[in-house]
Amino acid sequence: MAIVAAGALVLSACTSGTSEDDPTNEDGQGTEAEGDGEGTAAPGDDDAETTSEGGEAGGEGQTSKPDLGDITTKDDNIFYSVGADEWAGLNANTTETNSVYNQVVSGRLGSSFWYYGTDGTIYPDTDFGTYKVTSEDPLTVEYTISDEAVWEDGTPITYNDFLFDWAANNPPSIFGEPPAEDDPAAEDFVPAFNNVASDWGIYVPEGPQGELDGKTFTIEYPEPYPDYTLMVGGALPAHVAAEQSGMTPEELVTAIQEGDAEAIMPAAEFWNTGWLSPDKTLPDPMIAQSSGPYTIDAAKGAEWSQGEYITLGPNDKYWGPPPATSNLTFRFAAPETHVQALSNGDLNIIEPQATVDTVQQIEALGDSVTMETGESMTFEHLDFNFAEGSPWHEDNGGLAAREAFALCVPRQQIVDNLIKPITEDAVVMNSREVFPFQEGYEEHVAAIYDGRYDQVDLEAAKAKFEESGLEEGTEIRIGYGAGNQRRVNEVALIKASCDQVGFNIVDASAPGLGDVLSSGDWEIALFAWAGSGTVTGSAFWYESDGAGNYGGWVNEAADAAWETISTTLDEEVQKEQLAIVETEAWNTLHSIPVFAHPGVIAYDSTLDNVIHNSSQTGVAWNAEQWVRTE
């Protein structure tokens, strides 16, 4: 399926130092809820066919994992870091643990029916299993798990695990509908499973259909669902949850099938906490069982040094291709230390913020380090706050005020000054849903936007400002997560331009982008979304009641378009309706897209198979294939 939308969006922002991405995914705020919880805000590369030293993504024209042939695991250790936060435990799908810090480790300990290729294309992992549509009316998908797929204790991976995964999505068919937001009971409501994901439970109310311990199951959708390929990914070991909650696997399966919420509760309590590691020591490997190429079993080379690193060892029960390198170590290192750590060998692979300074620092390391830059499926944008009392509200400056601001934002200058020195092909981004490096971008933009804000027009902006009725010097606070020099520079460029129109632009950065956005103490929010190849994943940013619609944009035509998109498999209809959404977003100025983030990775030149990935997964997407060639 062609990538129509930029993705299931993940909040991407700066935390501190040179960190580009806020690795926090929150339910309703861009989580990969349709899949297996795998969601990271990470840079990547659109030109992902090749890497240095001959690494190649798939075959010619493919962006999948390369076929390395017969692999003999090399006794070695490769060091990588995504940031200073420590691993929280195997279950990276709770509201507290769903982050890139956790998923980058947990993702090496699990397998799934699919993965993201370097350009966001969804590829099936046939080593794990297969899936196929057996009916389009109703939409029915049949899944078959590999006969060889087993947990670390040798227990087969079966229907039981995916039934439990479905139950962990808090399906209303078992647990009832949660209270409405305006219901007093909503304040005290706590779901049975502390899960960021809910889609599977909602879109498949009857759950997966199969037999106890079976290797096949089917799911049926009451209505067509365009992102069905992402609905089922990986799972956690249900037999462990059953044992730890005083049940047999059969009793747990029966309780879920019969919708016995009370009987399920002990397993839900274990799901919430049992796979977490708050004491920052290696958990019992027979509880935190792996289904991937690596393990956290100390007997197989795993180690956790609190505050410093966690090392994974090879999983000898993994049935797929063995890891190319025996050990992976994830250092808990602050992003601003990564370039120096690469230089002195404490890290072998880094994925820093793509700034001019960072690129120059890496280039200064010479031939011992290989650097690659390129596009990523993360994009910068400016969002309007439509709250009552805001200058953008229709009772105040309204659309004319928003147009005045859009006409003075120097998007081209921002790209020229801050992005082109990193990647010379960078362009101003005029779509929120299709990236400039994706097929169909020009066609999509032509259908949604007439170029009216491509260049700064101060005279037109002044006329719109006067039309708006705003007072000279109206304060516009641009809120963003503190600590990102590039955003400091962006705000400075906007101020230099827009203050000439009548606005008073104020840099309103503050710690924690999530706190900034939820506070509402801003007129413009400056942040980024990271996406991957989904169709419906960004709806929550636009929909009137969407959890990611921080500015409170309301547009009935866009709401209706998303309703149509989410219930059709017809790609032409999806494209037509998506064009309606983006046309409305330009005509009424829901937001202003600025640029697609450049991505950069750098690594020890003796390593092979280090490959850019432009999706949320980042460079660690194929970490099990990394190997030192010297």
User: Residue 106 is encoded by which pair of tokens?
Assistant: 């947990």
Residues 411 and 531 in one domain: yes
Please answer whether residues 433 and 447 qualify as being in contact, where contact means their C-beta atoms are separated by less than 8 angstroms. no
Residue segments in the chain with a per-residue pLDDT below the cut of 50: 1-7, 13-55
pLDDT score, position 61: 65
Residue with tokens 């339910």: 27
Q: Coil, helix or strand for 32?
A: coil
* DSSP state for residue 37 in the 8-state scheme: S
Tokens 């990276």 correspond to 92
DSSP 527-576: EEEE--S-SSTTHHHHSTT-TT-TT----HHHHHHHHHHTT---HHHHHH
A 10 A CB-CB count for 249 gives 21
Residue 447 located in a structural domain: yes
The pLDDT value recorded for residue 3 is 29
Residue 519 is assigned to a structural domain of this protein: yes
How many CB atoms neighbour CB 361 within 10 A? 17
Q: What are the helix and strand counts (H, E) for the chain?
A: 19, 20
Work out how many domains the chain is built from and give that number.
2
Nearest-5° Cα angle at 604, 603 to 608: 85
Residue 407 lies in a domain: yes
Helix (H, G, I), strand (E, B) or coil at 405: helix
pLDDT at 58: 66
Answer whether residue 322 is part of any domain. no
Q: How buried is 224 (Cβ within 10 angstroms: 0-12 exposed, 13-18 middle, 19+ buried)? A: middle
* Same domain (yes/no): 386, 521: yes
Nearest 5°: CA angle at 174, between 171 and 177? 65
* HEC readout, 307-329: CCEEEEEECCCCCCCCCCEEEEE
Q: What is the pLDDT of residue 7?
A: 37
Residue 483, domain CATH? 3.10.105.10
Spatial contact of 12 and 529, defined as CB atoms under 8 Å apart:
yes
DSSP string for residues in 594-608: EEEEEEEEEEETTEE
Strands 474-479 and 524-530: parallel
Q: How far is CA 326 from CA 198, 315, 347, 602, 620, in A?
A: 36, 9, 16, 21, 15
Query: Whole domain around residue 492: which residue ranges?
Result: 375-598
pLDDT reported for residue 64 = 95
Residue 566 and residue 424 share a domain: yes
Instruction: Name which of 568, 532, 537, 569 is nearest 119 in CA terms.
Output: 532
Question: b/e string for 69-85 if b means 16 or more Cβ within 10 A?
Answer: eeeebeeebbbbbbbbe
Query: Do 267 and 397 sit in the same domain of this protein?
Result: no
d(CA 338, CA 317): 33
User: Is position 304 within any domain?
Assistant: no
**CATH number for the domain that contains residue 180:** 3.90.76
Token code pair at residue 371: 């650097």
- Confirm if 536 and 227 have CB atoms less than 8 A apart: yes
Write the CA distances from 138 to 147, 207, 227, integer angstroms: 28, 14, 15
443 and 571 assigned to the same domain:
yes
Please report where in the chains the tokens 């097929």 appear, as a residue.
Answer: 439
Query: Do residues 435 and 559 share a domain?
Result: yes
DSSP symbols for 434-491: S-TTSTTHHHHHHHH--STTSS--HHHHHHHHHHHTPPTTEEEEEE-BSS-HHHHHHH
In a domain? residue 66 = no
**What is the pLDDT at residue 412?**
98
10: left (phi over 0), alpha (psi -120 to 50) or beta: beta
Cα–Cα distance, 422 to 416 (Å, whole number): 10
Distance CA 136, CA 438 (A): 28
Domain boundary among 224, 249, 274: 274
Beta partners for residue 601, in sequence order: 372
User: Would residue 477 count as lying in a domain?
Assistant: yes
Residue 184, preceding peptide bond in cis (omega within 30° of 0): no
Rounded-to-integer distance, Cα 349 and Cα 326, Å: 16
The last residue of a domain, from among 274, 296, 327: 274
3-state class (DSSP) for residue 240: helix
Cα Rg of the chain (Å, integer): 24
Domain boundary among 220, 246, 274: 274
Whether 307 is in a domain gets the answer no
Chain center to CA of 259: 31
Decide if 558 contacts 585 (C-beta within 8 A): yes
Beta strands 10-12 and 139-145: pairing type?
A: unpaired
Q: How far is CA 90 from the centre of its chain?
A: 18
Same domain, 382 and 261: no
What's the angle, vertex CA 525, arms to CA 546 and CA 462, rounded to 5?
Answer: 115
Q: Are 596 and 436 in contact (CB under 8 A)?
A: yes
CB 161 within 8 A of CB 111: no
